[in-house]
Structure 1
Amino acid sequence: MTETVSIGEAIESLMRDGLPVRFTAYDGSSAGPPDADIALHLKNERGLSYIMTAPGDLGMARAYAMGDLDILGVHPGDPYDAMTLLQSNLRFRRPSAAEALRLLRGLGLGHLKPPPVPPQEHLPRWRRTLEGLRHSMSRDAEVIGHHYDVSNRFYELVLGPSMTYTCALFPTADATLEEAQDAKYDLICRKLDLQPGQRLLDVGCGWGGMVRFAAREYGVRALGVTLSLEQAEWAKAAIDREGLGDLAEVRHLDYRDVVESGFDAVSSIGLTEHIGVRNYPGYFAHLAQRLRPEGRLLNHCITRPHNRHQETGAFIDRYIFPDGELTGSGRIITAAQDAGLEVQHAENLRPHYAMTLAGWCRNLAEHWDECVAEVGEGTARVWGIYLAGSRIGFERNEIQLHHVLATKTTPAGASGYPLRHTF
């Protein structure tokens, strides 16, 4: 006769140092300290099946997105405290084969049949590969749409009035998110040494924040391109609303399809993460060809603290950035140099991204009901754990954010760059 094992007993037996939170389950079992401020509650058998069939962050994310697992003691829009506690104190031990089999049988082998995945989940990478080459134009358009064509209203609520979905720059610790986003754009404009009448190309322009800022504050003629149709439509409306139509333009276009050249400057803010490391040579070569001699390129992207290959985690790959790839700033600089660009400056803004994410989490929590009404509770829950988890990653130096500034230096060595930085 098979021995029945309670869920709480199974969880507790797998913990090396005990549970840092209270855990309760639908079978009436529990584990962890009764007086804990934060608790996890597994509500049903489907949730258990998600966890058993996809151990790790993917199974937990599936159960949480479907509402089968609740995190109590924190707001679902900002579960930062719970995730920090779990990541700092959760230590699993590896059971023996016999013990693992006993737990599986005790919990019920029927739970090893995977339930349907949540609607927010993208295909696994191997399935995406069968349906199109990684980082082909068609596949890139599909995965960008998966993340960015959620709902412009949802992004307005989470990102705030700037509609800027990239790392801000906080001039002071108490600066607002909007002030920090303006400071980021201003720094990039100064690094690019933008002057009235110059031409700027912004690749992966999002909702046109950089395009509009550079046109409005620096008087440049700015062209932005994005693979997201919803972003392009929102940006065009914002340009018209702000009366910038004579200086600013946003197109629904792959950056590889930009044929104009002779730009004084190119900015790439949050695009490099999506293009694939093996495509860096073509990416930097294409951007270099868009520049006039002595023109400048500013590359702003999330990086790793090392230059080794590291696959993106299953949750991020399936739910947030399908096909996204990160590497270290060394690889970014090498690729830029190999494309014939002269790197003039590099800067790590890691702490600023943690502060940016904290601001987005606050916005999500403050506008939770409207966000849920806009995209559904499952998607809103996914965003809560994604933003909070990313904040922790930047705080712990698991990921970074680098600016790399380069010039299209001529064969004769003319870069147009001053003896010292002017920004």
Structure 2
Amino acid sequence: MQHSPTSPKPAPDPSRRAAPDRGRTLLGPALTLIHTGQAPTRSALTKALDVTRATAGAVTGELEALGLITVDSRPAGGGRGRPSHRLAVDPAGPVVVAGQIHSDGFSVALAGLGGLLEPPVHRPLPAATDPVRMLRAVAQTGAELARATTRRCLGAALALPNPVTEPDGTALAALHFAWPSGTPVADLYDVEVRRADHGPHAPAALPSFVANDANLGALAEYRHGAGRGARHLLLVSSGHRGVGGALVIDGKLHTGSAGLALEVGHLTVDPQGRLCQCGNRGCLNSETDPNALFAAAGLTPDPARPLLDQARELTRAAAHDPRARAAVDHVIDRLGLGLAGVANILNPDRVVLSGLHKDLWEADPDRLRAVVAERCLWGRSGRVPIVGAALEHGALVGAAELAWLPYLADPQAVAAD
């Protein structure tokens, strides 16, 4: 039957949509499930996507043809029913460059799908720490790693130790390096990434991204670490200096109206405490980071060694050194006050501690839980599980997640680059 241009056409029947077309729309969700370990077999993928075995087979076949996953036909498991093919990210597949700037250096690594990092390269800060030369040093180091691999490089992302606005990508309150407020870090990093030679396996215009390190660490823990399965995940971390926080709600970062939410480091835990770089006193930032631990112990760290490494050593010394024990107790109490205050507002179902905060929690988990329970309404009813981070380089893994996002949304984009 023919229809005139003015007569309405019958609505298409979704069940009659061509299988290849439907399969293409499922590529992103399928790759994300495999990437995050939620679909280790084809039967698990079939169930998660709510599709037929034939559709799941077509989807995995296309992802394999794109060089993103491997499909092992050897049966997985020994249970009843039809054996299922095993699915995994391709260890020889493409990579992205993940970078992180610390207050006393920077780290860069190549990262494949699945949250898998190649060994990171750690380098000291350049002699001049203005934004251009700092970002150039990171971009050039990433390019060196990309040129040294035979795997395709598809993007670059950088974790920064300061707030980064969305969507314009400017750095606010870059206190560690005295960068001007509003420095356009996303644009500057993009220029340096495009100038760097990433070798023959990378597109001419390598896409780049920047974000706050705590936000990226939280995203990494949610997808690949201690935050798996949480609905409202709060991450609090102290790295080389200062304190960061981030919240993941139902799989998405809560970054506020402009990307600046969850700056928990500037929550006051002692009005008479140490002066913070922001100008206030007693911020979580200045009461629970590595410098605060050394100050509580009455000690001075060695400027020639990474501050975080020394703080971790001091925390471990609490097992036999009374001075270190007193310092650790003092900082744990301040950390507990901060966690209780944030938990009272956000009511998370899991708190993940990383960096030095993980070490402090491991040094005396009962003390930290007791402080949180005493000061937190939800803590008194035992509803604030506190766990240590599972990832050794969470912010780097998170930076990789940021660089992978376009390809997780559209896996076929890897073929276009």
Band of TM-score, shorter chain: under 0.3
Q: Normalising by structure 1, what TM-score?
A: 0.28
Q: Normalising by structure 2, what TM-score?
A: 0.28
